[in-house]
Amino acid sequence: MKKIGIASDHGGFELKEYLRKELGNSVEIIDYGTKDESSVDYPIVIAEACKKVLSNEVEGLIALCGTGIGASIAANRHKGIRAALCHDEFTAEMSRRHNNANVLVLGGRVLGKDLAARIAQKWLTTTFEAGRHERRVGQLDTIV
């Protein structure tokens, strides 16, 4: 069974809890916080969770904040992280197929729970096509 991390700030907490329960039958979910709706700094929470992806403790990460924008920016600061902020199933699929995204970012205050679950399920079940995309994905880690 795939082992996937999940992390959020207070703005994504409610959706994180929903997804943790909803996806728990298809993948092993490791919860990296936050543990309640108390205000926390998303750069710190997301950075700590991204370290778990980079150390191969988990195969991928679902990161959440209110809009997903801050979590996406924070995650993409880390060399080796390819975080994709997705709002529908198509972008989730393409983020995996063409960009080999290892972090899915969702906005807890902008997505409905059912849609978010479908997006996450699509991301979790889609694989990287490699081929012509492999060269481009490889170039991402050379950008300084």
List binding-site positions for D-ribulose 5-phosphate. 9-10, 66-70, 99, 109, 132, 136
Cα dist from 95 to 18, 77, 82, 103, whole Å: 22, 17, 9, 9
Pick the catalytic residue: 50, 86, 87, 98?
A: 98
Tell me if residue 50 is catalytic: no
| b/e per residue 97-113 (b: at least 16 CB within 10 A) | ebbbbbbbbbbbeebee
Which residue ranges are tagged as binding site?
Answer: 9-10, 66-70, 99, 109, 132, 136
Three-class SS of 60-114: EEEEEECCCHHHHHHHCCCCCCCEEECCCHHHHHHHHHCCCCCEEEEECCCCCHH
Pick the catalytic residue: 65, 78, 87, 133?
A: 65
Tell me if residue 65 is catalytic: yes
Phi and psi angles of residue 86, each rounded to the nearest 5 degrees, phi first: -115, 145
Active-site residues, by number, are: 65, 98
